[in-house]
Structure 1
Amino acid sequence: MTTSELVPPKTAKPKTAAGKQTRQAQLHKLLTRKSGVTIAQLQKTFGWQPHTARAAISAQRKAGCAVTRTETDRGSVYRIVAGQGDR
């Protein structure tokens, strides 16, 4: 019997950063702010194209969140309505 037979093989553990949020979780946090978020802010924050930002907001709606859109002087502002669809 050799020592290599006695030592169990090492398995690779997936490396995950503790506390790192997914983009969907970060988006949800931005949408729940009192000031909401604009498409331009999402583009800057995540490096997304406008159609990708709108699709991500749509995914939040499909997940059950009540997302509202309000027209302001800085463009459309998206918010998750408090108490409706919160995770």
Structure 2
Amino acid sequence: MATSELEPQKTANPKTVAKEPTRQAQLHRLLSRKSGVTIAQLQKTFGWQPHTARAAISAQRKAGRVVARTVTDKGSVYRIVAGQGDR
């Protein structure tokens, strides 16, 4: 057996595939906006039911982020409070 057979095959430069951001990353981006995000916007963006959207916000809180809720005429607006708990 020749030593060349034991060496790993070298391949040409593999194409890098751009990964789409995860839903949690997308949610974090929406919550980090100055305008925040409503449950209705989360439903439309992700196709979630209201209870799923609230659970995802709760998961952000459990991850250590401080999520503030403000009641407006459009409904509750959720946003991550800058400087407190974001990583």
User: Which category of TM-score, normalised to the shorter sequence, fits these structures?
Assistant: 0.7 to 0.9
Counterpart of 2:47 in structure 1 is 47
Distance in 1 between the 2:73 and 2:81 partners? 20
Counterpart of 2:11 in structure 1 is none
Distance in 2 between the 1:23 and 1:17 partners? 18
Counterpart of 1:66 in structure 2 is 66
Distance in 2 between the 1:49 and 1:17 partners? 31
SS in structure 2 of the partner of residue 53 of structure 1:
helix
Deviation, structure 1 residue 17: 4.5
The count of aligned residue pairs is: 77
Alignment of 1:1-87 (within 5 A): 17-87=17-87
Q: Which digits, 9 at most, give the CA deviation of each residue in 1:5-63, with x for residues without a partner?
A: x6x8xxxxxxx942410000000000000000000000000000000000000000000
SS in structure 2 of the partner of residue 21 of structure 1:
coil
If the length of structure 1 is used for normalisation, what is the TM-score?
Answer: 0.80
For structure 1, the residue ranges without an aligned partner over 5 or more in a row are 1-5, 9-15
Distance in 2 between the 1:17 and 1:74 partners? 39
For structure 2, the residue ranges without an aligned partner over 5 or more in a row are 9-15
SS in structure 1 of the partner of residue 18 of structure 2:
coil
Opposite residue 18 of structure 1, the aligned amino acid is: A
Distance in 2 between the 1:64 and 1:17 partners? 31
Query: After the TM superposition, which parts of structure 1 deviate over 6 Å for at least 4 consecutive aligned residues?
Result: none
**C-alpha RMSD over aligned residues:** 1.9
